[in-house]
Amino acid sequence: MEFTVNNEARFAIIAAFVLYSAAMLAIGLYSKRAMDKTSVDKYVEEFYTGGRGMGALVIALMIAAGLCSAGTFLGGPGLAYSAGLTWVLAALSQNFMNFCVLGEIGKKVGIVARRINAQSYLDLFLYRYNHNKMVGIGGVIAIVLFLGSYVVAQFVGGARLFESMTGLSYLLGLVLFSVVVLVVAAFGGIKGVTTAVVLQGIVMTAAVFALFFGALAHIGPLEPAIRSIGELDPKLISPWTWNIKIQSSMWIIFGLVSIGMPHAAMNTLLYKDTKAMHKAIILGVIFVVLWTVMLIWMGNMVRAIYPDLKVVDHAVPILAMTVLPPWLAGIALAGVAGAIQSTVGAMIIVISSSIVRDAYQAYINPNVSHEKLKKVTVLTTVITCILIFIAAIKPPHALEWMIAFSMGGLASAFFWPLLLGLYWMRTNEYGGAAGMLGGLLTYILAAGKYLPITFGMHAIVISLIVSLVLTVGVSLITPKPPKGIIMQWFGRVYPKEIKM
C-alpha cells in the first residue's frame, strides 16, 4: 500500500504546525523579556538554573522529554518498523529513566549543587575533582562532541518530521526548527525551555493517545495484522531476534546509564525541593511508559499498513496522516515537534554552560566581568545553534543508531566518575580524570571498530568496565581527596570551615 496525502490535508497540517510554532516563539520572546529584567550579576545563574525553583511537572517533563525526544517519537518507532519486536523489548528499558536520574542522584546533587552554587553539569565534576584540568577539558570535549551529535540527531528528526508531514523540503523544516529553538533557548535560557516544555508535554501526550487509539481503530483485529507482518519476515514479530549480548547492551545504554546523560542530570540542579523531586519521579515514569509502549509498538504495527517504507523514521508521521483527521494529524506533528524541541533546548543549555562556565570562565578569562559574561553566554548559545544547524543539513540514514552512539559516548565519560564521586569518598581527581578519559577513549576505539574488543556487545559495555576499573584503581593508588571536598560532599558543612 502506497501512502499519499491530498493538498487540503497538507494545508491543515501546515496550519496546525504554524500555530504551534507561533506559540513557541511567543513563549521564547516572553522569556527573553523576563531575562532582560534580570540584574547583570545574576544573569548567568538565572540563564542556566532558573533560580532552582522548578516544580514537579516541569522537572518530570524536562527529564522525560529530554531523554525520549526524537528517539522515542521518531527513531524508536522507525527501528521497531525495521528490526521488529526485539527493539520494542529493548526500548522498555527506558521506562524508569526519571527514577534512575532523580532516585539515584537527585537528592545528593540537589544538596551539593546548592552548597557549591553549581550552575552547570560540569561544575559538579570540577568541584568534586579539585578543579582538575583534565577533568574539565575532558568533560567539555565529551559534551561538545557527543551531546552535540545528540542534538544534531534531534534536529534531523524534527526536520524529517516536518518534511514527511507537510510535503515541504527537509531544509525548510530544519530552518524552522532551528529558529524556534534559537529563540526559546538562546534568548529565554532555562526558563524559556521549561516554560515551553509544559505546553509541549501536554500537547505531545495528547497526540500520543490520539495516534495510538486512531491506529488501533484503523488496523482492526490485531491477529491478522500481526500475521501479515510475520509473513513479510518472521523475525519482525519476535522479541528475541537480537542475541542476549546485544539486547542486554541496549538495556544498559537506554536504561542503566541514563544518569550519566548531562541533559538529564542537569535537571537535578533545578528542582525547588525534595517534595517536587519525588513527585517528578512518579509523573515522569507515567509519561515515559505511556509514550514508549504506545509509540514504539505502533512503529512495528505500521508494517501491517505500509510494508515497504523508504525512510523508516517516517513511520509515525505517516501513521498519523493515515489514521487521524488532518487537523488532529497537525496536532500530532506539533506534539512530536514539542518533544524534540524541548530536548534540543535543554541540550543546548548544557553545551553552552559547559563552554561558557567550564572552558571560557574557568581557563580563558577567569576574571571576566558580569556584563561581558552575559554577552558571551548569549553569543555562545546562538553560535551553538548555528553550528548544529549546519551539521544537520546532511542527515544520517537511521536516527536511532546515531542517538545510541551519542548516549554511549556520554555515559562512557560521565557515568562512573559521577556515581562514584557522589557515593565513594575515596574517589579522587586522578581517578575521576582516568575514568573519564579512559572510558571515552575506549568507547571511541571500540565503537569505531579500531579495536575488536566489544565481544559482540555494544561498545558501551567494555567502555564502562574500563572506566570503572580506572576510576577505582587510580583513586586507590594516589593521594586521598582534600578534606574540604569530602566535607562539602559528604558531611555537614559551614562555609567558613572549608579550606580548598
Q: What is the mean pLDDT of the chain?
A: 82
Residue from 230, 227, 231, 240 nearest 87 by CA: 240
pLDDT at 3 over 70: no
Indicate whether 52 belongs to any domain. Answer: yes
**How many domains is the chain built from?**
1
Please indicate, yes or no, if residue 437 is contained in any of the structural domains.
no
List C-alpha distances in Å: 202 to 288, 334, 363: 13, 11, 41
More confident residue, 370 or 226: 226
pTM of the model: 0.80
Q: Is the pLDDT of residue 499 over 70?
A: no
Instruction: Tell me which range, 178-192, 194-208, 403-417, 429-443, is most confidently predicted by mean pLDDT.
Output: 429-443
What average pLDDT does the segment 208-228 reach? Answer: 90
| Mean pLDDT of the region 330-338 | 74
C-alpha dist (Å) from residue 423 to 23, 104, 258: 43, 10, 17
Per residue in 224-247, pLDDT tens? 999 999 999 999 999 888 888 888
More confident residue, 308 or 401: 308
Exposure b/e, 311-346, CB count within 10 A at least 16 = b: bbbbbbbbbbbbbbebebbbbbbbbbbbbbbbbbbb
User: What is the chain's Cα-based Rg?
Assistant: 22
Higher local confidence (pLDDT), 388 or 239: 239
Least confident of 67-81, 221-235, 274-288, 441-455: 67-81
Is the confidence at residue 397, as pLDDT, over 90? no
Rounded to the nearest 10 degrees, how much is the dihedral formed by the CA atoms of 404, 407, 405, 251? -40
Q: Does residue 427 have a pLDDT over 90? A: yes
Over residues 195-205, the mean pLDDT reads 79
Question: Whole-angstrom Cα distance, residue 494 to residue 401?
Answer: 47
Report the CATH number at residue 50: 1.20.1730.10
Local structure of residue 235 (DSSP, 8 states) = G
State pLDDT tens for residues 127-185: 899 988 888 888 888 888 888 887 887 788 778 777 777 778 888 888 887 788 777 77
pLDDT recorded at residue 498 = 36
Q: Amino acid identity of 486?
A: I
HEC string of 130-192 equals: CCCHHHHHHHHHHHHHHHHHHHHHHHHHHHHHHHHHHCCCHHHHHHHHHHHHHHHHHHHHHHH
Please report whether residue 71 resides in a domain.
yes
In a domain, 272, yes or no: yes
3-state secondary structure of 13: helix
* Predicted confidence (pLDDT) at residue 494 exceeds the cutoff of 60: no
Per-residue model confidence (pLDDT) at position 51: 67
pLDDT of amino acid 496: 43
pLDDT for the residue numbered 30? 79
pLDDT score at 403: 72
Q: Please compute the mean of the pLDDT values over residues 404-421 and round it to a whole number.
A: 87
Q: For residue 44, what pLDDT band results from cuts at 50, 70 and 90?
A: low
Q: Summarize the confidence of residues 496-500 as an average pLDDT.
A: 38
Q: What is the pLDDT of residues 99-133, one digit of tens each?
A: 888 888 888 888 888 888 877 778 888 889 998 88
Rounded distance, CA 144 to CA 138, Å? 10
Hey, how many other C-beta atoms are within 10 angstroms of the C-beta on 175? 14
Q: Is residue 432 in a domain?
A: no
Phi, psi of 499 (to 5 degrees): -125, 110
Q: Give the three-state DSSP class for 53.
A: coil
How far is the C-alpha of 98 from the C-alpha of 150, rounded, in Å? 19
> Is it the case that residue 420 has pLDDT exceeding 80?
yes
Distance of alpha carbon 117 from alpha carbon 102, whole angstroms: 19
Identify the band that residue 216 occupies on the pLDDT scale cut at 50, 70 and 90.
very high
Specify the DSSP class assigned to residue 392.
Answer: T
Residue 160 in any domain: the answer is yes
Q: How far is CA 302 from the centre of its chain?
A: 26
Strands (E), 227-268: none
Whether 396 shows a pLDDT value over 70: the answer reads no
Does residue 387 belong to any structural domain of this protein? Answer: yes
Confidence (pLDDT) at 34: 74
Q: Is the pLDDT of residue 320 over 90?
A: no
Between CA 212 and CA 77 the distance in angstroms is 12
Q: Which residue has the cell 508535554?
A: 201
Q: Nearest-CA neighbor of 73 among 378, 364, 245, 314?
A: 314
> 181 is in which domain, residue-wise?
7-398
Helices (H) and strands (E) in the chain, counts: 23, 0
Is the confidence at residue 361, as pLDDT, over 90?
Answer: no
Average pLDDT over residues 58-78: 78
Percent of the chain with pLDDT over 70: 92
Amino acid letter for position 27: I
Whether 62 maps to a domain, the answer reads yes
Are the CB atoms for 59 and 271 separated by under 8 Å?
Answer: yes
pLDDT-based confidence at residue 466 (cuts at 50, 70, 90): very high
Alpha-carbon distance 180 to 182, whole Å?
A: 5
